[in-house]
Amino acid sequence: DTGVSQDPRHKITKRGQNVTFRCDPISEHNRLYWYRQTLGQGPEFLTYFQNEAQLEKSRLLSDRFSAERPKGSFSTLEIQRTEQGDSAMYLCASSLGLGQGDTQYFGPGTRLTVL
């Protein structure tokens, strides 16, 4: 399977715990994006990387959230001191980042439940 993959698919945690999600983009895709989706809503942009560089961050990305893409391949999204409001589906997408070729393909998501 050469699509975007995410791990884990589901995560249940207690309030105050830290969690980390991983995303592996489509091979050779330079851009990697993180979105958050709550029930009944469309995905909302969090941040994106061009290779290793984090180029844009949404105001939704509070100080408790940090994303990395150290080698320009996979990315991790960490949430510290989780809150119940962090419960959502966290989606990763990747794209070639070449003008009209900048079409984003999504992974299956990580469903986070904070108790």
Q: Is 107 in the site for other proteins (CB under 8 A)?
A: yes
Q: Is 40 in the site for other proteins (CB under 8 A)?
A: yes
Q: Which residue has the tokens 């941040």?
A: 47
If you count DSSP H runs as helices and E runs as strands, how many of each does the chain have, helices first? 0, 11
Neighbours of 41 (CB within 10 A): 10
- Of the pair 12, 55, the CB lying nearest other proteins is at 55
Rounded Cα–Cα distance for residues 80 and 78 (Å): 6
Q: Is 85 in the site for other proteins (CB under 8 A)?
A: no
- Of the pair 72, 97, the CB lying nearest other proteins is at 97
- Of the pair 18, 76, the CB lying nearest other proteins is at 76
